[in-house]
Chains A and B, each alone.
Chain A
Amino acid sequence: MLLELTDVHVHYGKVEALKGISLTVDSGEIVTLIGGNGAGKSTTLKTISGLRRVTSGSIRFKGEEIAGVPAHRLVERGLSQAPEGRGIFPGMTVMENLEMGAYARRRARAAIARELERVFGLFPRLAERRRQPGGTLSGGEQQMLTIGRALMAGPEVLLLDEPSMGLAPKLVVQIFDIVTEINRQGTTILLVEQNAAQALRRAHRAYVLETGRIVRSDAAAALLDDESVKAAYLGGDVSSSEPEVPPTS
């Protein structure tokens, strides 16, 4: 068990955002957290990353308790996040953004260089645009940058927060292909997504979050076929692989 949350409660002021979340992520898996807006998905990731305080409960990473450890310490331990809404540094170039990703790795020059190669391999478009300021990239490129930047930390666990947000369908598939590839190369991934269909197709296991609670937990494939999940998150009784022929009337 690489990452384990046990009965985690998080409050924003008086409002309880997470009401006792428990989940696990094993080494080598892709685990996805799906759910509607405001369900608490991003809050969960931010809490794991140390950006939000845990009111109660425990978060264990590689067997050690990390709840309460400040955010900037967790990168050193092998936990890296690509934040929601991309969060790239708009005034810095692609290269500088990537270098920021490796900020915590001060002396590992060779490792950083290798990591850079790997990132450019995964995202050739970033290599082309390495001197461009981050703010000038398109949405899809920014998403690539944010994932690439998170990889620069050489993490064991990669936290991805809504990578498909605002992206065209084709790009979404592309991004998810890359996510799958990253996982194949050995990185464990915890993925938060609104686009349930894609997420469930790529993940091994999934949790469904609703108003701060986990309401379902299963193998991803099982949830993909589940009627109630489909109804709630996949837009009605539409099958997720073939378009319905619109009824002629």
Chain B
Amino acid sequence: MQRLRARFAEVRRHVSVVDPVARWWGRQRLRMKLTVAAALATVAIAVPPQLTRYWQSVLFFPVGVYMLLALGLNIVVGAAGLLDLGYVAFYAVGAYTTAVLTTTHGWTAWQALPFAVIFAMVAGVLLGAPTLRLRGDYLAIVTLGFGEIVRIVAQNSGSLGEARGITGIAHPGKLVGTDFELLPLPYYYLTLVAIGLAIVLMLRLTRSRVGRSWSAIREDEDAAEAMGVHTFTMKLWAFAMGASTGGLAGWVYASKVSFINPDNFPFFFSVIILAAVVLGGMGSIPGVLAGAFAIGFLPEYLRNAAAGAWLTDRLNTLTGGHVNNITEYRVLLFGLALVAMMVFRPQGLLPSRQRAAELAEAPSPEQAMTVVTEAAEDALVGTEGAGREHGPAPPAPPGAGTGKAVTGRAEPAVPTRPRPATSKGPTHGDIVLELADLTMGFGGVVALHRVSIGIERGGIFGIIGPNGAGKTTLFNCVTGVFRPTSGAIVLNGRSIVGRKPHRITEAGIARTFQNIRLFPNMTAVENVLVGADARHRTSVPGAVLGLPRHRREERTGRAEARRLLDYVGIVHRADDLARNLPYGDQRRLEIARAVATGPSVVLLDEPAAGMNPTEKRALIELIRKIRGSGLTVVLIEHDVGLVMGVCDRVAVLDFGEKIAEGPPAAVQQDARVIEAYLGTTADAP
């Protein structure tokens, strides 16, 4: 029995992980992909007029509508990773808006179209704004609730026709010589156009910083935030776009069938669309389309085919039921398919390369259950910051008092950002980052107590101290993960206390994490790009529309990312998945990503952790190089030798207080420091 189970698991692992289809597709050149797409498009356009009216109708609904809805939900679930169980709500809003506008207010269907989409989008924003902070499955339940609320409101509102619904919805007026009356074919083509638009939209998005930020959010939301991604805004955009697509589908449906009622929008409908996305392959356009097609088409096919009758008989014997038609078993098979898929092939039929990668690796079961707590604890680990040049790359970096040799060349790899206007004048001196009386308390525990540190521009500043001394908490306060209880944090003359992490990154502080928080299933280049995206100026709609400025920023961003990878020495690994990189390269990548955000100050949290002496020497080189490009580096480290070797000044924390500060040699001799690190001085065993 044990062996049987082991073999079973082996097979399953093989099936889920080795993804021949995804790999094959990924390997195909663009020309091949375009050919396949063109072939499918031709079939989609040319074949339907040959079919019977019944099948044409089926192609419109459920198949076409499902495909459109699945594309929309794919943005929410597949791209942004947000669990939405109430997607039907947006569909309903679109449909009801169309219904009300064309019946009560006498508008034409075409006039109602933009409003159907907009109202659905508004609904999306209204739902999303307060709820997107929630954890995954809670978000799912809230959205489910919302979906049901919409349906029940429709059911009970007189103005929405209550249970009877609304009849007499207008068909769309004539367009390009086509009548939209009762025949299904024109609506089918209309849906096809909508699907085409949605595909274009999605492709644009995934290739842009919007798609990257969604991937980053999915992989590691906190790290994304630290890299300057506006996580909340991006999630809201995903919701809004998904909702508008739902609204569009609602319009098309309502304007064809002319009659809707609340029973058209049950919770189960949300499940169907979700299933289409999941079974087809989340995040992958071909997958989602295939999934939606299967879910829409198969039941209809089985209803009429002999295979359907055979299946019904088999199932009747199994369940002891007396069902006539396979459609009765539709939902049951559906549920079974969902479970089977999740158990055997969670990445779906045609998964995107990224998702297949994500689902391939898994921690041990005990680890999996503790992952939540650990992730939270890990979030409290230190951060690295990346410095940034001020003004155009100067041949010699500013930074008096460092006394270190300076690289003579300008380093074009390190991004520049115009020096922000300081509120205090040059008399503020060379202090780029100042902490004054910083205090941080959690409940009864005081993690930091009145810590004051002034970090000079262009210096390499070290922070050391025993475990639990508050070093990481300090980093977290500076980068906005925690809001300090009291005290000031001033960057370039501007206070950054209490600001959100992504804003602080924009202001000029970047970090790396003690336990390396890269986006594991994105390539090295993509990881760096997420950092670089922090400096993108184009808005989300601009990305969607493919504005010239957006395209330009993409191009320069990519070039810059490669330059940065070269700068840290891993450009040969540019297209490897981050999690496949060796440890030392991962550290370098994280540094590159942080530097890409174009900061003034780089915070590095235990960058040498786990490195052997050779790697440490290389790291020291890199840190010096970064400083040479004009950035200020602040470093938490346990490796005393490294700290002493590379830092200009060192501060020592112990129990949340700064107990020493100064040049490394002096700090090393300080009695308090010795005691803190080594225990009480006079203790004989």
**Which residue of chain A has the shortest Cβ distance to B673 in the bound complex?**
A235
Q: Of A15, A37, A162, A169, which one neighbours B583 at CB under 8 angstroms? A: A15
Residues in chain B near residue A36, CB distance under 8 A:
608-610, 638-639
Interface string of B648-685 (1 = CB under 8 A from A): 00000001000000000000111101111111111101
Bound together, the chains give a CA A247 to CA B680 distance in angstroms of 21
**Is A184 an interface residue when CB atoms closer than 8 A count as contact?**
no
Most buried by B among A169, A197, A202, A211: A169
**Is A178 an interface residue when CB atoms closer than 8 A count as contact?**
no
Interface string of A116-159 (1 = CB under 8 A from B): 00000000000000000000000100000000000000000000
- Asked if residues B680 and A169 are in contact (CB atoms below 8 Å), the reply is yes
- Asked if residues B610 and A139 are in contact (CB atoms below 8 Å), the reply is no
Provided the pairs A15-B583, A36-B609, A173-B680 are in contact, do residues A247 and B639 lie with their beta carbons within 8 angstroms?
A: no
Bound together, the chains give a CA A107 to CA B644 distance in angstroms of 56
- Asked if residues B679 and A37 are in contact (CB atoms below 8 Å), the reply is no
Q: Of A85, A167, A234, which one neighbours B678 at CB under 8 angstroms? A: A234
How many residues of B are in contact with the other chain, CB < 8 A?
A: 41
Interface string of A63-90 (1 = CB under 8 A from B): 0000000010000000000000100000
Interface string of B466-492 (1 = CB under 8 A from A): 111000000000000000000000000
Residues in chain A near residue B366, CB distance under 8 A:
51, 71
- Asked if residues A37 and B610 are in contact (CB atoms below 8 Å), the reply is yes
- Asked if residues B680 and A194 are in contact (CB atoms below 8 Å), the reply is no
Q: Of A51, A139, A244, which one neighbours B669 at CB under 8 angstroms? A: A244
Residues in chain A near residue B681, CB distance under 8 A:
241-243
- Asked if residues B683 and A173 are in contact (CB atoms below 8 Å), the reply is yes
**Is B367 an interface residue when CB atoms closer than 8 A count as contact?**
yes
- Asked if residues A236 and B668 are in contact (CB atoms below 8 Å), the reply is yes
Bound together, the chains give a CA A165 to CA B465 distance in angstroms of 12
Residues in chain B near residue A194, CB distance under 8 A:
467, 638
- Asked if residues A243 and B680 are in contact (CB atoms below 8 Å), the reply is no
Provided the pairs A36-B609, A39-B610 are in contact, do residues A243 and B668 lie with their beta carbons within 8 angstroms?
A: no
**Is A7 an interface residue when CB atoms closer than 8 A count as contact?**
no
- Asked if residues B674 and A165 are in contact (CB atoms below 8 Å), the reply is no
| Closest Cβ–Cβ distance, residue B546 to chain A (whole Å) | 37
**Is A109 an interface residue when CB atoms closer than 8 A count as contact?**
no
Bound together, the chains give a CA A167 to CA B682 distance in angstroms of 18
**Is A6 an interface residue when CB atoms closer than 8 A count as contact?**
no
**Is A38 an interface residue when CB atoms closer than 8 A count as contact?**
yes
Bound together, the chains give a CA A217 to CA B668 distance in angstroms of 27
Bound together, the chains give a CA A244 to CA B665 distance in angstroms of 13
Residues in chain A near residue B367, CB distance under 8 A:
51
- Please classify how large the interface on chain A is, using the bins under 10, 10 to 19, 20 to 34, 35 or more: 35 or more
Most buried by A among B467, B671, B681: B467
- Asked if residues B468 and A139 are in contact (CB atoms below 8 Å), the reply is yes
Bound together, the chains give a CA A239 to CA B405 distance in angstroms of 32
- Asked if residues B685 and A201 are in contact (CB atoms below 8 Å), the reply is yes
- Asked if residues B611 and A236 are in contact (CB atoms below 8 Å), the reply is no
Interface string of B44-85 (1 = CB under 8 A from A): 000000000000000000000000000000000000000000
- B269-314, CB < 8 A from A: none
Bound together, the chains give a CA A102 to CA B644 distance in angstroms of 47
Bound together, the chains give a CA A18 to CA B670 distance in angstroms of 36
Residues in chain A near residue B609, CB distance under 8 A:
36-38
| Closest Cβ–Cβ distance, residue B619 to chain A (whole Å) | 13
- Asked if residues A169 and B467 are in contact (CB atoms below 8 Å), the reply is no
Interface string of B590-627 (1 = CB under 8 A from A): 00000000000000001011111000000000000000
Q: Of B606, B655, B678, B679, which one neighbours A238 at CB under 8 angstroms? A: B678
| Closest Cβ–Cβ distance, residue A10 to chain B (whole Å) | 11
Provided the pairs A85-B377, A236-B644 are in contact, do residues A211 and B678 lie with their beta carbons within 8 angstroms?
A: no
- Asked if residues B641 and A165 are in contact (CB atoms below 8 Å), the reply is no
**Is B640 an interface residue when CB atoms closer than 8 A count as contact?**
yes
**Which residue of chain B has the shortest Cβ distance to A195 in the bound complex?**
B679
Interface string of B569-601 (1 = CB under 8 A from A): 000000000011011000000000000000000
- A206-249, CB < 8 A from B: 210-212, 231-232, 234-236, 238, 240-244, 246-247
**Is A52 an interface residue when CB atoms closer than 8 A count as contact?**
yes
Residues in chain A near residue B676, CB distance under 8 A:
169
**Which residue of chain B has the shortest Cβ distance to A237 in the bound complex?**
B668
Q: Of B514, B673, B678, which one neighbours A197 at CB under 8 angstroms? A: B678
**Is A106 an interface residue when CB atoms closer than 8 A count as contact?**
no
- Asked if residues B675 and A243 are in contact (CB atoms below 8 Å), the reply is yes
- Asked if residues A246 and B679 are in contact (CB atoms below 8 Å), the reply is no
**Is B364 an interface residue when CB atoms closer than 8 A count as contact?**
yes
Q: Of B583, B669, B683, which one neighbours A247 at CB under 8 angstroms? A: B669
- A17-41, CB < 8 A from B: 36-40
Bound together, the chains give a CA A243 to CA B683 distance in angstroms of 12
Residues in chain B near residue A198, CB distance under 8 A:
679
**Is A113 an interface residue when CB atoms closer than 8 A count as contact?**
no
| Closest Cβ–Cβ distance, residue A159 to chain B (whole Å) | 16
- Asked if residues A165 and B677 are in contact (CB atoms below 8 Å), the reply is no
- Asked if residues A14 and B674 are in contact (CB atoms below 8 Å), the reply is no
**Which residue of chain B has the shortest Cβ distance to A211 in the bound complex?**
B612
Bound together, the chains give a CA A14 to CA B518 distance in angstroms of 14
Provided the pairs A173-B679, A235-B678 are in contact, do residues A246 and B606 lie with their beta carbons within 8 angstroms?
A: no
- Asked if residues A243 and B671 are in contact (CB atoms below 8 Å), the reply is yes
**Which residue of chain A has the shortest Cβ distance to B361 in the bound complex?**
A13
Bound together, the chains give a CA A232 to CA B644 distance in angstroms of 11
Provided the pairs A13-B579, A53-B364, A166-B467 are in contact, do residues A246 and B670 lie with their beta carbons within 8 angstroms?
A: yes
Bound together, the chains give a CA A52 to CA B678 distance in angstroms of 31
| Closest Cβ–Cβ distance, residue B628 to chain A (whole Å) | 26
Interface string of A173-206 (1 = CB under 8 A from B): 1000000100000000000001101100110000
- Asked if residues A210 and B467 are in contact (CB atoms below 8 Å), the reply is no
Residues in chain A near residue B467, CB distance under 8 A:
162, 164-166, 194
Residues in chain A near residue B683, CB distance under 8 A:
173
Q: 4 shortest A-B CB distances, which residue pairs?
A: A166-B468, A38-B610, A38-B609, A37-B609
Question: Known contacts A36-B608, A51-B364, A231-B641; can you find 16 more A-B pairs with CB under 8 A?
Answer: A14-B579, A36-B638, A37-B610, A38-B611, A51-B367, A85-B377, A166-B468, A168-B655, A173-B683, A195-B678, A202-B685, A211-B611, A232-B641, A235-B674, A238-B668, A240-B678
5 A-B residue pairs with CB within 8 Å: A52-B364, A71-B366, A168-B655, A211-B610, A236-B640
User: Which A residues lie at the B interface, using CB under 8 A?
Assistant: 13-15, 36-40, 51-53, 71, 85, 139, 162, 164-170, 172-173, 180, 194-195, 197-198, 201-202, 210-212, 231-232, 234-236, 238, 240-244, 246-247
